[in-house]
Structure 1
């Protein structure tokens, strides 16, 4: 459907989904997504698309995350850039993408919508999206409020929807890919695993923290606000949890969770400067390969698993 060689997706990541990483994923046969809102303006997104096309002649997409805001970014203008520049696929996330679907359809842009529940996946299919990215509780960022892990969420969704589905949350190696295919998905989406690659445009200290961390080194923030987010555990995330558990409001943690602080973590390598997202999959991240090495390894080992261990169970 998306014209890529391997069923491996690099989803949109704020501050991370830039041309260097996306082009590397595309050149390695996967589907990479530039993150629209990482770019300050729609004009900057247009320049980033052009920059990415200088690095690859293979298909890539753009992520457009739609979130509530007092002063929302010009989503329609970002959308129009995606259409104008002939991007073949958009990854939508956050709020219902219905108002943007007619423009994407008219422009021939396929829509992969990220969901955290079966009911939302069903609704998205009814709206006419082309594919679903189903996001389990293990994921970095916002896992929703149902706390359903991928082992249950993926097959539950597969029973209800008929369009292609990508499994997201907790995937980082060949074992995860094979498991996702067995559970009914058509491929996997990886965020945190791609963060720990040579081409990821973040400080090396961030990558090394992911290698050193275990599956226990994340924290769920904003739970009392019913806007749960999974982030790397540090002093800032622990303070946020403490304030909200004591009855604090968002206003009481606003400065601590400011996106500008998280961006500086990626830029400076100061891991205690702000909050930054990381998934449970960091427990199986043990190196910082190139994107090509990572995708090649996952594909080769997945084939070996299917032809060896799994086939052997039938004999």
Structure 2
């Protein structure tokens, strides 16, 4: 699992996995594509440290703005990075085909798809030499995506921020349940914030991890420092699961707004009764102005493991070094030599 680095990029052995080898990344860590968060400064800092940063396509208001954000990221790093394209059904959907074309024409080599079936986009991405990493919340969906021809799977456990699916299966079960069926690189998402989680994911059968909430709490993250500090103070119990009665579960920070949404829907209300409370504009205000009570905002249970706000590069390097020490030290010492 170790690959010695001799090019000056790292003074320590890297963790080499199927994901790092096939996607051309130094470390098996991915910064999730988070709405309003996956911007150039954070993505470039993650990439410079040898992990995979993800620009969030739909954070950019138009495909043209996405092209500019990709160019801005390239001004900050010459390392590989990707773009997240979340595809969701909507009454007035974004111009997904135009965003896809912007990604292709910008020369991006890695795309993370999420939300709906990536099939309609695969042929165009593959024709452009782009590797597609698809986010799934169940074994059956991971198998289906593999059959469609994606190049990698990101499997999301119930602990994750955002939409964990409706099966409520945590990573400790979901990762090893998927591993025997997935032959392409598979990274694990949901609940990861430190080296212990990285080593555990590798032991469970994943080839790396995806982190969202942990990268929100870095210096380059574009959210307000008040929100970063709120995450640092929070525990693993300080989230709410909204939209459960609507079968569209989402894990968000626990605040007066999210608790009201849970109450209204539990009392028989419908989406129209909460749509103003859950508007994306209010959530964006949280990140920009630093008021954690201004709206719904996404965070995972791993916030209970987050205790600082380091530079993103320092976080990556620390995690890899600590993971290496866990593997070589604590775990290796548990293996007793058989007396001859």
Shorter-chain TM range is: over 0.9
1:15 aligns with 36
Gaps of 5+ in 1: none
Does 2:317 match 1:296? yes
* 2:252 aligned to which of 212, 231, 234: 231
2:5 aligns with none
* 2:61 aligned to which of 40, 43, 53: 40
Q: Shift of residue 159 of structure 1?
A: 1.2
1:162 aligns with 183
> Is residue 220–residue 231 contact of structure 1 (8 Å, CA) maintained in 2?
yes
CA distance in 2, matches of 1:64, 1:288: 27
CA distance in 2, matches of 1:270, 1:180: 34
Count matched residues: 315
Q: Shift of residue 160 of structure 1?
A: 1.0
CA distance in 1, matches of 2:176, 2:185: 13
1:120-164 per-position Cα deviation (integer Å, ceiling 9, x unaligned): 000000000000000000000000000000000000000111110
CA distance in 2, matches of 1:198, 1:4: 22
Does 2:88 match 1:96? no
Q: Give the secondary structure class of the aligned counterpart of 2:54.
A: strand
The correspondence of residues 47-62 of structure 1 with structure 2, limited to 5 A, is 47-62=68-83
Q: Shift of residue 165 of structure 1?
A: 0.1
Does 2:132 match 1:111? yes
CA distance in 1, matches of 2:314, 2:124: 37
* 2:194 aligned to which of 163, 173, 180: 173
1:82 aligns with 103
Q: Shift of residue 3 of structure 1?
A: 1.5
* 2:291 aligned to which of 242, 256, 270: 270
1:207 aligns with 228
1:216 aligns with 237
Q: Give the secondary structure class of the aligned counterpart of 2:23.
A: coil
CA distance in 2, matches of 1:154, 1:4: 21
Q: Give the secondary structure class of the aligned counterpart of 1:113.
A: strand
1:3 aligns with 24
1:212-243 per-position Cα deviation (integer Å, ceiling 9, x unaligned): 00000000000000000000000000000011
- After TM superposition, where is structure 1 displaced by more than 4 Å over at least 4 residues in a row? none
> Is residue 2–residue 88 contact of structure 1 (8 Å, CA) maintained in 2?
no
Q: Shift of residue 2 of structure 1?
A: 1.8
CA distance in 1, matches of 2:184, 2:268: 42
CA distance in 2, matches of 1:120, 1:239: 32
* 2:263 aligned to which of 242, 245, 248: 242
Q: Give the secondary structure class of the aligned counterpart of 1:304.
A: helix
Q: Give the secondary structure class of the aligned counterpart of 1:46.
A: helix
Gaps of 5+ in 2: 1-21
Q: Shift of residue 92 of structure 1?
A: 0.1
CA distance in 2, matches of 1:259, 1:288: 25
CA distance in 2, matches of 1:169, 1:21: 19
1:284 aligns with 305
Give the TM-score of the pair, scaled to structure 1: 1.00
Q: Shift of residue 305 of structure 1?
A: 0.3
Q: Give the secondary structure class of the aligned counterpart of 1:199.
A: coil
Task: State the Cα RMSD in Å.
Answer: 0.5
Does 2:210 match 1:189? yes
1:75-109 per-position Cα deviation (integer Å, ceiling 9, x unaligned): 00000011111101100000001100110011111
1:275-314 per-position Cα deviation (integer Å, ceiling 9, x unaligned): 0000000010000000111111100100000001100010
CA distance in 2, matches of 1:2, 1:10: 14
